[in-house]
Structure 1
Amino acid sequence: MDFTDVSLVALRVFREVAERGTFTSAATALGYTQSAVSRQIASLERAAGAPLLERRREGVRLTAAGQVVLRNAAGVLDQIDATARELAGLPVTGGTVRLGWFPSAGAVVLPQAISALRRTHPAVAVTTREGSTPALVRALRAGTVDLALLASAPPFRPPDAETPALNLETLSERSLRLAIPAGHPLAAHDSVDVSELRGRRWIAGPLSGEEFLMGVWPGLDERPEIAHTVRDWLAKLHLVAAGAGLTTISASMASAAPPGVRVLAVRGGPAELRRTILARLPGRQSDAAALLADALRAATLEVGGPD
């Protein structure tokens, strides 16, 4: 085992593969060919004297040795990047914190937290990225985000089985809501029974291997009619306002609903609870990350409203 000649390029490629989950996605993100990515990983595995990635049909998974290399590679690369920033004369006072977030968090919670932090600690720089829960968990493991806002549904399992276990803090737990057109017959009341949702047209997010069918009320005893497939939450809500169908919505987004949309509770059936979770790697976090975490806690409480 000899890491003395390992290149920074190989470490960056390895981190990208670990974060993206596939060689193909990493190659695309880096602007490399897939064979170039494979060569860099092979050189790193030769230096480690052990496989770092377990190749699977659906992608790659870190081996125990791969977790050790990733943990240390992330620290090395962060130090190199910090050195480059300092040499370039970029401001370092206050620190930078990198946050990942699930799509609907960007409507209210995220901007409110960042706005509050800018007022109280303007020297703290925040960079953010949207992603699915699996993508954000990989980014945490790869060290490319410091904190991640995750959405979780029953049975509320940990987001992955890797070690060390992530530090998970539940910021809120509230019932899922239903967004309907203001002129819809169901809009005359503050809540609807789940039985009244049968036979409705739905506006849902695209189905992928990483996500549930977001937008359809869970547990309906029928094959739902998907009238529109939309990834963007604001577009979904404007389609609801236009009378194009119904969609689900988190309680935290109720205040962001545009005119023409009513947000209702749903009675009957299993309790459809949703948690907002703040995740990070275990260990001491930076002062900037701790300040942002405090702002996210406050924003989540403020925008959640009653259950």
Structure 2
Amino acid sequence: MDFTDVSLTALRVFRAVAEQGTFTAAAASLGYTQSAVSRQIAAIERAAGAELLERRRDGVRLTPAGRIVMRRATVVLDEIDTTARELSGLPTEAATVRLGWLPSAGAALLPRAMLALRRSDPDLNVVSREGGTPALVRALRAGSLDLALLASAPPFRPPDTESPPLVLRTLTERPLYLAVPATHPLARADFVDVADLRGQPWIAGSSSGEDRLMGVWPGLDERPEIAHTARDWLAKLQLVAAGCGLTTVSASLAPAVPAGVRVLPVRGGPQEQRRLLLARLPGVTNEAVTRVAAALRAAALDGGDASPGGGGPAAT
């Protein structure tokens, strides 16, 4: 085993593959060809004398040896970035917390928490990024995130089966709602019966990938008609306001609902609950991570009484 010849490029490529979950996605994020990524991974595995990534049909995940290398690689790359800042005359980032968040958290909860931290801890630096739950879990495992806001749906299984289990704290557990154009016949009542969702056009997630049907009411007994696809939740809500279809919405998005949209509960089927989780790797956390976690918990509590509505009187 000889790491003396491992390049920083190889370490950055290895981190990108671990975070993205596939060679293809890592290549796209770095602007490399897939073959270039494969060569870098092969080089670092030769240096390690072990397989660092388990190749699976649905992508890759870190092996036990890969987790060790990833942990050390993250420290090395962070130190190199800090050195570059010092050499360029920029101030050193003494207390930085790396936070990942799911898209719905970015509409209200995350800004509330960041505003509170700017007031209470102006010297604390939070670097954040948006992502889906599987991608954020991979980044936590790779050691490139300190905390992540994740979504969970019934039966509320752990976000992955890796060991050791992630430390999870439930910030909120609230019903899933339906966003309806204010001019739609379904908007006239204070709730929607699940039977009335048959034959409705839907605004869903991207046409492929892990969020393919996100936005469609779960458990429909028909193949849904997807009228529009969009990754961004605010784009979905604007399409609803324009009368283009229906979409699901979490309670945390209620404060960001635009005019022309009603947010209503759905009755007549299984209750659809959604949890917002705060996740981290097990082990002792530093004070900066603890302060950010506390701000996120407080922001979640502050938004707990935000009632659905919009485009008309609030639903009961």
Relative to the length of structure 1, the TM-score reads 0.92
Corresponding residue for residue 282 of structure 2? 282
Aligned 8 A contact 2:102 2:130 in 1: yes
Aligned 8 A contact 1:16 1:142 in 2: no
Which residue identity does 2:124 align to in structure 1? V
Describe the shift of the 1:213–1:49 C-alpha distance in structure 2 as closer, same or farther (beyond 3 A): same
Which residue identity does 1:256 align to in structure 2? A
1:82-97 aligned within 5 A: 82-92=82-92, 95-97=95-97
Corresponding residue for residue 270 of structure 1? 270
Q: What are the Cα deviations for residues 99-119 of structure 1, in whole angstroms up to 9, with x where unaligned?
A: 111111111111111111111
CA RMSD of aligned residues (A): 1.9
Describe the shift of the 1:296–1:162 C-alpha distance in structure 2 as closer, same or farther (beyond 3 A): same
Describe the shift of the 1:23–1:233 C-alpha distance in structure 2 as closer, same or farther (beyond 3 A): same
The answer to whether 1:301 aligns with 2:301 is yes
Tell me, in whole angstroms, the C-alpha distance in 2 between the residues paired with 1:155 and 1:207. Answer: 25
State the percentage of identical aligned residues: 71
The CA deviation at 1:87 is 4.1
1:236-255 aligned within 5 A: 236-255=236-255
Greater alpha carbon shift after TM alignment, 237-246 vs 166-175: 237-246
Which residue identity does 2:95 align to in structure 1? G
Corresponding residue for residue 233 of structure 2? 233
Aligned 8 A contact 2:177 2:264 in 1: yes
Corresponding residue for residue 220 of structure 1? 220
Tell me, in whole angstroms, the C-alpha distance in 1 between the residues paired with 2:64 and 2:168. Answer: 22
Q: Determine helix, strand or coil for the equivalent of 2:3.
A: coil
Tell me, in whole angstroms, the C-alpha distance in 2 between the residues paired with 1:284 and 1:83. Answer: 26
Q: What are the Cα deviations for residues 110-159 of structure 1, in whole angstroms up to 9, with x where unaligned?
A: 11111111111111122221111111111112222221111111111111
The answer to whether 1:259 aligns with 2:259 is yes
Corresponding residue for residue 165 of structure 1? 165
Corresponding residue for residue 198 of structure 2? 198
Which residue identity does 1:172 align to in structure 2? T
Relative to the length of structure 2, the TM-score reads 0.90
The CA deviation at 1:306 is 6.7
Tell me, in whole angstroms, the C-alpha distance in 2 between the residues paired with 1:121 and 1:276. Answer: 24
Tell me, in whole angstroms, the C-alpha distance in 1 between the residues paired with 2:169 and 2:2. Answer: 39
The CA deviation at 1:212 is 4.8
Corresponding residue for residue 74 of structure 2? 74
Tell me, in whole angstroms, the C-alpha distance in 2 between the residues paired with 1:285 and 1:300. Answer: 21
The CA deviation at 1:89 is 3.7
Q: What are the Cα deviations for residues 35-58 of structure 1, in whole angstroms up to 9, with x where unaligned?
A: 332222222212222111122333
Aligned 8 A contact 1:93 1:123 in 2: no
Corresponding residue for residue 152 of structure 2? 152
Q: Which runs of 5+ in 1 are unaligned?
A: none
Q: What are the Cα deviations for residues 74-118 of structure 1, in whole angstroms up to 9, with x where unaligned?
A: 223223323333444433466122211111111111111111111
Aligned 8 A contact 2:168 2:277 in 1: yes
Q: Determine helix, strand or coil for the equivalent of 1:263.
A: strand
Q: What are the Cα deviations for residues 256-293 of structure 1, in whole angstroms up to 9, with x where unaligned?
A: 11111111111121110101011111222232222221
The answer to whether 1:10 aligns with 2:19 is no
Q: Determine helix, strand or coil for the equivalent of 2:277.
A: strand
Q: Determine helix, strand or coil for the equivalent of 1:190.
A: coil
Q: What are the Cα deviations for residues 216-237 of structure 1, in whole angstroms up to 9, with x where unaligned?
A: 1111111112222122211211
Q: Determine helix, strand or coil for the equivalent of 1:271.
A: coil
Corresponding residue for residue 110 of structure 2? 110
Describe the shift of the 1:87–1:291 C-alpha distance in structure 2 as closer, same or farther (beyond 3 A): farther
Aligned 8 A contact 1:94 1:288 in 2: no
The answer to whether 1:25 aligns with 2:25 is yes
